[in-house]
Homo-oligomer: A and B are copies of this chain.
Amino acid sequence: MRPITIEKFDLLLRFLQENQVDVLMISDFENSKNINLQYLSGHPTDAFLLVTSDGESILIPWDISLAGKCAEVDEIVDFSNFKYNFYLTIKEVIKKRWKKSSITVGVHELIPYGYIRMMINLIPELKFFKEPIQITKILQELRATKSEFEMKQLTKAAQIGTKTIKDIRKFCENASDETENDLSFLVRKKMAEYGADDVAFETLVANSSRSHEIHQYPPASNQRFALSGLALIDFGANYQGYHSDITVPISFGELSKEQEKILDIVLDSYEVAIEMIDIGVLTWKVHDRVEQILKKAGYSMPYSLGHGLGLTVHDSPRIGRKPTDEYSLKHWKEETFQEGMVFTIEPGIIKQGVGGTRLENDIMIRNGKIEVITKAEYIQY
């Protein structure tokens, strides 16, 4: 089943028609993922998808039997009939469909430059729509609000995550020599028990010696977790392809003045952000407000305040700063909070020598209400 609704698919077609794009081409492979393949076709991975401006979908998958099971398209083309070569297959599909190769193809920004070079060489008449950024933007816009079905899946992913918080509490209460890896394993195991298909991403477990890193590398280690100071765990569930994302700030033992201070600022700015969110409010303004609070206190936030949740963990909308260059600004459309959006709010402060802390919950806007659908809060031991 393809996740995109008919209404949204029609908006996409209108975009293609208005911009004289004959066909939209999406590719998704191991080294160059693009979730829009799944969003538009239902096929999970390893394929080219062509969507014509009059609404026909043609899939060229690596695994034809998987496509038979998952894809909701008009045609599935077997590339083994074209020497196992995706480009020769695309060439034939175009020739057959349009009787000429001088059509305009719209590509997503994430398509590897090598694919473009390959097509320019093998199908020299092909024209490329000159603003792939607009293709990216329209797909981001469509995916930023979720269908009823998607909101159900995301609610379930959030519930699995929330349920796991009590296991994290229990682990911390009884923690002595257990490692970050032990906690990471526990979270994976419990989420599977609660119905998750997978973790949403490799769980980040940071004791007080590593919590100042933006993204922990490695995600978890064999160091003891319950060291005195600021710790955190950032995790989420993948439920049937939909994701939750939660960060629980934790502390062990007595904290220093500065540790107390950054905790207070983070927890306060979280409340400020949640309070600000409403339908019609500009997303970048909420990021900006939190950034100003942090700045005033002498700190900075190197990442964005939040991000959408959906078929990817980092979905649209993006709740971050305004673009900072002319090209991006030219193509930028101010984004507001809308019915159907599901996203994280996750203010944080990190400082080497002091530690890091972050509170992250998932928010859903449904029936006009702003609902916090996960239940992370600061835990002190």
Contacts and interface: CB of A to CB of B under 8 A. Distances in A.
Interface of A: 30-34, 44-46, 62-63, 65-66, 70, 80, 83-85, 87-88, 107-118, 121-122, 131-133, 136, 181, 185, 189, 192, 197-198, 202, 212-215, 217-218, 300, 302, 314, 321, 324-328, 352
A45 B218 CA distance: 11
Most chain B CB within 10 A, of A84, A189, A212, is at A84
Given A80-B302, A185-B189, A325-B88, A113 B109 contact: yes
Contact of A32 (B70, B110, B321): B110
Contact of A192 (B34, B181, B198, B302): B181
Contacts of A302: 62-63, 80, 84
A62 B328 CA distance: 19
A122 to B, nearest CB: 5
Contacts of A66: 213-215, 217
Nearest to A326: B122
A44 B116 contact: no
A356 to B, nearest CB: 10
20 contacts: A32-B110, A46-B215, A63-B217, A63-B302, A65-B212, A66-B215, A66-B217, A80-B300, A80-B302, A83-B325, A84-B321, A87-B327, A88-B325, A107-B113, A109-B115, A110-B114, A114-B132, A117-B133, A121-B327, A185-B192
Residue of A131, A185, A217 with most partner-chain B CB within 10 A: A217
Nearest to A61: B214
A30 B314 contact: yes
Given A114-B133, A185-B192, 11 more contacts: A66-B215, A66-B217, A84-B324, A87-B325, A109-B114, A110-B113, A112-B112, A113-B113, A117-B131, A117-B133, A181-B192
